[in-house]
């Protein structure tokens, strides 16, 4: 059985938990530094929420460096929305980057206010058409050589993979479609 941690310091982690359990994984909420240090994980999810808040809490709770270390050492990680922002090397409309482990440049709150949240059905590489729910979402502006692009919606990159890292601008956990979580578990 695969044991997946979900970073649970802020944001929408409950739905991820439900999906992963449905797929037969063991799920552990990661709330403090010693969880990262003492629990052997096969993968970790960085959920949606507010990236500035999650980034700040990671530092306050002294979890930032251990988390980055695990990811840079190859722990499979799936970042959705704010999780994508946390993993990105660069954000074009923010001064700050966070874990900076993935070679992508992103734009935060990229869809602006008018289009705060929306849903489309769209192609995801190797999966097919799936529902994609966007909530104050970022998108990916450019990717490094090692990054595989998995979905493009309206000319914007909304899903990508680099080695052990998977990111989506949208929230698969808010739909009923388990495919992206299954894809992540297959990366492990």
**Interaction mask 125-144, ligand GLN, x per CB under 6 A:** ----------xx--------
Asked if 168 is part of the footprint of ligand GLN (rule: CB under 6 A), the reply reads no
DSSP state of 1: -
Span near ligand GLN by CB under 6 A; candidates 27-35, 42-50, 96-104, 148-156: 42-50
**Interaction mask 51-70, ligand GLN, x per CB under 6 A:** x-------------------
- Minimal distance in Å, beta carbon 170 to ligand GLN? 9
CA distance 143 to 89: 10
- Tokens at residue 134, please? 């966007």
Q: Can you count the helices (H) and strands (E) in the chain?
A: 6, 12
3 state SS of 29: strand
CA distance 158 to 56: 25
For ligand GLN, the binding residue among 107, 108, 161, 181 (CB under 6 A) is 108
CA distance 29 to 13: 8
Q: What region does 174 belong to: left with phi over 0, alpha with psi -120 to 50, or beta?
A: alpha
Specify whether 171 is catalytic: yes
Asked if 109 is part of the footprint of ligand GLN (rule: CB under 6 A), the reply reads yes
Asked if 182 is part of the footprint of ligand GLN (rule: CB under 6 A), the reply reads no
Asked if 99 is part of the footprint of ligand GLN (rule: CB under 6 A), the reply reads no
Residues with catalytic roles: 81, 171, 173
């Amino acid at each position: 059985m695969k044991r997946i941690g979900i970073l649970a310091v802020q944001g929408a982690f409950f739905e991820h938990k439900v999906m992963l359990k449905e797929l037969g994984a063991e799920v552990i909420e990661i709330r403090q530094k010693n969880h990262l240090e003492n629990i052997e994980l096969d993968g970790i999810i960085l959920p949606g929420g507010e990236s500035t808040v999650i980034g700040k809490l990671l530092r306050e709770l002294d979890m930032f460096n251990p988390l980055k270390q695990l990811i840079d050492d190859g722990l499979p990680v799936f970042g959705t929305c704010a999780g994508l922002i946390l993993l990105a090397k660069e954000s074009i409309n923010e001064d700050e980057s966070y874990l900076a482990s993935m070679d992508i440049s992103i734009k935060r709150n990229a869809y602006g206010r008018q289009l705060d949240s929306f849903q489309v059905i769209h192609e995801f590489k190797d999966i097919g058409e799936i529902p994609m729910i966007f909530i104050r979402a970022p998108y990916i502006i450019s990717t490094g050589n090692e990054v595989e692009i998995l979905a493009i919606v309206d000319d914007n990159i909304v899903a990508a993979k680099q080695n052990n890292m998977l990111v989506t601008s949208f929230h698969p956990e808010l739909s009923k479609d388990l495919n992206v979580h299954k894809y992540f578990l297959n990366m492990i």
